[in-house]
Structure 1
């Protein structure tokens, strides 16, 4: 009999354990204990990998007092008021809490986690378009044409309109979204998910690859500088001429914002873009290179950069000191050796090599300071003529905190808007409980979506609707005789291209002030007026 009772002891213990786990106080206590133990283990991982513990500072303390966890910093304008009324996703972020919301976990997931879900669902099909630049270089444009297990966009178009041999967006009415990766040219999982969601929201994404990066061949003995917009400008002009009636938008990720902001500032009102957005942008390039990154990210980025350069080591040996370059221990040293000063002139070789050396040496900056005089992303911020939304996180582990002059730029420029969240990491902004593609066209993936994706796409849609409304309003004012431009301006509105009408509309938008709208950043202390002196013009 005792043997039978002893055999029942494990069953009784399991029954009692199950009963205790269903008791709310015990379950809550176990959850707290598990969370605490997980936090201790994660702190140990921080220490082993030499990851800095997030220090939030005064901005995060101000954000914590806000129930939405977001601070929108901008100048009170009609566009800002319109965004305040029609962008609920932007103004009410649902960024995941810890542990999913840990900044390093979000950052690593956005860089390394596969974009497609199980069985490859959510994978985007790209078709590559190589574009020959004026100096003989080549950049690549990857057009997102469809999703796996679905008909390709181009194939569906050809069924109704005939064949088309040129890659790209077949529907001229779709807005084209130009996507710019980081300065290393890595198309991250975060970027692929953005293209996936953009396709479902009615955009035509195209990824821009710099020369020598992203699988694009290097046909010239030099790479593109951090903030040199010449290649991007030629690519934008090429896309516009192929699709002259399509709206053209742009979004950048991380350090790729240096290229986008440089283009917007240097080309000003001549830009073909209607609006732009930067996710976790690098707004001060020199400071970003001079500030040490956490070891885990630094050594990974440095190794990847050297791997890219070593692929063309033989071709670049005549214009760069490859031995010294591959021995560099910081990204700053690599950038300085590639684009500053001059390498030793080759004593032997073909005449073409000497000519290439002379051209590259002439194009190089004299020193580190002069290099950034012509490559700082915001060197021509006063010339920007399209709305630019910057999504930043207070716990970003890869970007230095925003300085007072930068904050003053957002408070005084009518074209710059800053959405600052408490959590999000670097290009993370994960949302728990949401799936990519669930916001239109059904659920096509199982990976967690990003708040930044939906916020940026909603921002583009709202800005487009706002500019169309302003354009219609100007047309009605001219018809009623209230527009001071008279018949001449009316003729321009009727006969001008869509780009010209959109540019006039966006310039008129920011001259208009909405008196009733006062954004929440007014509670912050005022800084001196932000001004950037034009230091270099190509």
Structure 2
């Protein structure tokens, strides 16, 4: 009897040891892996300020091991909006005979000041306010007044003219920025672009040059080479998901759009983004060839004229904005353009958990806070 009891106690001891060993192995601390950010930039006073004083590179990206893969991260960015309540108040603005929607993030317990900086967010290609809700919520907690810019027909807004705005066309964005600047003339205005939204932000900054009304900008997972090469590199599963979402938008506005495009042909026959752009945006803008369309919509076409501090955040494993297309020489030449790369993070994601907390969001706000502080303390920030 005593021998059986001893065997039972020994077995229980081994079971407990195994349980605690497995628990330690699968704990968040054990599954997480630190991924250190790397800065690519020309040496400047601004870069030193951001790294040394603001700690731009201090916080590593720490995703759980199971969420580290590029496709897992990319799918999280597409289908996993942040948890919790997200409150937005919509405002419609008339621009060039059309309508765009602005979604202002509101929080009942928010303690914003009259001069709190305004954060203008440009969502990804098929994104809306909900898709960038995590960024807006975090920005609100850190003293910003976030507002999301929805391009014509996007974000379930109205479409009053038979024209959708391409990502490389900054005309509507310029009208929106001018409107916000007039409404809050003494408040700093900054911008954050996500995915394809970076093309709109880059285009505005390049065309505006030194007259830009944005004080700083951040581009999360931008694509620098929007040509046929980019279309060929996009993973098919991601391309199909985006195409289905874009076609669903066309169906919603078919009464307006059927006047300028062949909706039946687009929905049934266009199964690549190149074909979609040619049959939709080229027709709307009256452009004959796809190459001409992308030359006019290339986000880097006026990069030489960008005059405000810009931070780009890219992951090396991004399956959409592949790292071979990152123009490292641009960031090493211009002191106001900075690039942070990570070994992992996917496309428009950088999720550190499944609840939607993104490393890139915190880094973007840290950069903007540092730039605004630097500008306020320096007469000539670009030295």
TM-score, normalised relative to structure 2:
0.90
Instruction: Report the CA distance shift for 1:106/1:12 in structure 2 as closer, same or farther (over 3 A).
Output: farther
Matched, 1:79 2:46: yes
Matched, 1:431 2:352: yes
Larger Rg: 1
Alignment of 1:107-186 (within 5 A): 107-116=74-83, 122-133=84-95, 135-146=96-107, 150-151=108-109, 153=110, 171-186=113-128
Alignment of 1:508-523 (within 5 A): 508-510=380-382, 512=383
More off after superposition, 99-108 vs 205-214: 99-108
Comparing both chains, which one has the higher relative contact order based on Cα–Cα distances under 8 Å and sequence gaps of 6 or more? 2
| SS of structure 2 residue aligned to 1:249 | strand
Task: Name the structure 1 match of 2:70.
Answer: 103
| SS of structure 1 residue aligned to 2:370 | helix
Instruction: State the Cα RMSD in Å.
Output: 2.9
CA distance in 1, matches of 2:20, 2:103: 54
How far is the alpha carbon of 1:71 from its aligned partner? 1.6
Cα-to-partner distance string for 1:318-344 (whole Å, 9 max, x where unaligned): 21111111121112111111122x5xx
Alignment of 1:263-342 (within 5 A): 263-287=204-228, 289-327=230-268, 328-340=270-282, 342=283
Matched, 1:90 2:57: yes
Instruction: Report the CA distance shift for 1:132/1:277 in structure 2 as closer, same or farther (over 3 A).
Output: same
Task: Name the structure 1 match of 2:339.
Answer: 418
Cα-to-partner distance string for 1:206-238 (whole Å, 9 max, x where unaligned): 000001110111111111022000000000000
| SS of structure 1 residue aligned to 2:311 | strand
Q: Which runs of 5+ in 1 are unaligned?
A: 33-37, 39-63, 117-121, 157-169, 343-359, 433-445, 472-507, 513-538
TM-score, normalised relative to structure 1:
0.65
Cα-to-partner distance string for 1:49-97 (whole Å, 9 max, x where unaligned): xxxxxxxxxxxxxxx9xx9622200011110111121232534423224
Alignment of 1:225-264 (within 5 A): 225-264=166-205
Alignment of 1:40-51 (within 5 A): none
Cα-to-partner distance string for 1:119-178 (whole Å, 9 max, x where unaligned): xxx422110010001x210001100111xxx44x5xx8xxxxxxxxxxxxx843110000
User: CA contact under 8 A between 1:229 and 1:260: conserved in structure 2?
Assistant: yes
Matched pairs, number: 377
User: CA contact under 8 A between 1:288 and 1:400: conserved in structure 2?
Assistant: no
Matched, 1:364 2:312: no
CA distance in 2, matches of 1:427, 1:185: 11
